Amino acid sequence: MGTKTKKPSIARLPFGSRAIGIDLPSVVIAEIGINHEGSLEACHRLIEAAAIAGADAIKLQTADPEENFAPGTTSYELYRRAFLSPEATAEAFAHARHLGLEAFTTSGVATFEWVDRLNPAAHKISSSTLFHFPLIRLGARSGRTLLMSTGMAELVDVDQAVAWARQHGCRSLGTLQCTSLYPAPLETLDLAAIVHLRDRYRTPVGFSDHSLSVDAAAYAVAAGACFIEKHLTLDCGRPSFDHGISLDPARFAAMVKEVRKVETLLGSPIKRLLPAVGEVARRMRRYIVAARDLPAGHRLGESDIRVMRVADCRDGLSTKRVDELVGAVTKQPLARFAVFTEASVRFAADKGAQ
């Protein structure tokens, strides 16, 4: 028989002053993206709203339209209007950190170097840039955590992107389950795939949520997500950009509350007996007791023995030993319903004491 190969452990990912891991509270990322519409003032208001709502981090989109989109496309026009300069992005990062939030961005090749100088918590590879291997190589070589969305990919595409990143030096990699529909219907979210991604790539897995649901993120955490990415806007009714698939601050706060509630409900990943439950169990478990008053020196028969709940017990024999008691001799008088203990009986010599 061949020996089984032990799977590598799933390491925590550095994420600014925080970490992302399967044994840590979920990191909630407010995806501001381009919802600031190119206004640093609006970006600051969104960052402030994210902090108040309980987010752990904010993410921007820093794609140079001249590099990434052909003129005449919708994306070119949107990103041209919403592009923040290096100076404005630096101010946004500083504002986020002042409020206790981590900051990072989805960038392109042309913007990568100056974004990296801002010391982002991670670099993000979006679903659409999962096929941009020069950009993935830059992220892999940066030494920072690389977070890769999979919303537009077949499994073979994710295999190639993960292998490419690792081939080029990435040692801190996270993947995200994502459905690139805007908005994404609930039946398309495939939250069960979170475990598949975790086990296949041995990475912490997040959930990038494009649905309109407040609850989907919490369900994703229950399904194993270690970090959540959700769009935030100040006004869901504003046209264009990503406002229509975003949560407003109140609903974003409600989402964070649900995520934290699920984490509380999930509790420990290791089955445990809480001390308070142990006290309840001690009173409610079954123990071996005398079926009637018994004198000292009495040889026990089956009719002398019962398994019952009693008012209190701390040293009773395990019920696994009920058969051993048949033929044992009482060392002392026992009242009806007294619990049998090691001290109260002498076991038959041919069975021996255990």
> pLDDT tens digit string along 237-286?
898 888 989 999 999 999 999 999 999 999 988 888 888 888 888 788 89
Most confident of the ranges 73-82, 222-231, 303-312: 222-231
22 pLDDT tier (thresholds 50, 70, 90): very high
Which pLDDT belongs to residue 4? 53
Residue tagged 């028969």 (tokens): 301
293: tokens are: 């008053």
Q: Give residue 6's pLDDT band: very low, low, confident or very high (50, 70, 90).
A: low
Residue 305 — very low, low, confident or very high, per pLDDT cuts 50/70/90?
very high
- Amino acid, single-letter form, for residue 38: G
Buried b (16+ CB within 10 A) or exposed e, 112-141: beebbebebbbbbbbbbbbebeebbbbbbe
Alpha-carbon dihedral sign for residues 324, 326, 331, 334: positive
Handedness of CA 34, 39, 41, 42 (dihedral sign): negative
pLDDT of residue 352: 46
Report pLDDT digits (tens) over 111-139: 999 999 999 999 999 999 999 999 999 99
3-class DSSP state of 51: helix
Ramachandran angles phi, psi of 261, nearest 5° = -65, -45
71, 76, 77, 78 alpha-carbon torsion, rounded to 10°: 180
Give pLDDT, residue 278: 81
pLDDT at 55: 98
Q: Is the pLDDT of residue 327 over 50?
A: yes
Are the folds of 14-266 and 275-346 the same? no
Residue range 198-215, pLDDT digits in tens: 999 999 999 999 999 999
CATH class of 275-346: alpha beta
pLDDT for residue 107? 93
Q: For residues 208 and 180, give the distance between their C-alpha atoms in angstroms, rounded to a whole number.
A: 9
What proportions of the chain, in percent to the nearest 5, are helix, strand and coil?
Answer: 35, 20, 45
Across the range 315-336, mean pLDDT stands at 93
How far is 331 from 342, CA to CA, in rounded Å? Answer: 10
Compute the distance between CA of residue 340 and CA of residue 249 in angstroms, rounded to an integer: 62
CATH architecture designation of domain 14-266: Alpha-Beta Barrel (3.20)
The per-residue pLDDT for 1 is: 43
| Helix (H/G/I), strand (E/B), else coil: 60 | strand
Name the residue type at position 184: A
Going by C-alpha positions, the residue among 184, 181, 176, 185 that lies closest to residue 204 is 176
Q: How far apart are CA 264 and CA 115, in angstroms?
A: 36
DSSP annotation of 271 reads -
Q: What is the mean pLDDT of residues 16-31?
A: 97
Tell how strand 13-15 and strand 18-20 pair up. Answer: antiparallel
Indicate if the pLDDT at residue 184 is higher than 50: yes
Are the C-beta atoms of 328 and 296 separated by less than 8 Å? no
How confident is the model over 212-222, as a mean pLDDT? 97
Give CA–CA dist 265/219, Å, rounded. Answer: 12
pLDDT in tens, 48-93: 999 999 999 999 999 888 888 889 888 888 888 889 999 999 999 9
Average pLDDT over residues 305-331: 91
3-state secondary structure string across 63-95: CCHHHHCCCCCHHHHHHHHHCCCHHHHHHHHHH
**What pLDDT does residue 350 have?**
43
Res 216: pLDDT: 97
Q: How many residues does the chain have?
A: 354
Could you tell me the residue ranges of all domains in the chain? 14-266, 275-346
Rounded to an integer, what distance in angstroms lies between the CA atom of residue 92 and that of residue 23?
30
On the question of pLDDT at 35 being above 60, the answer is yes
Given pLDDT bands bounded at 50, 70 and 90, which one contains residue 296? very high
Please, what is the average pLDDT of the chain? 93
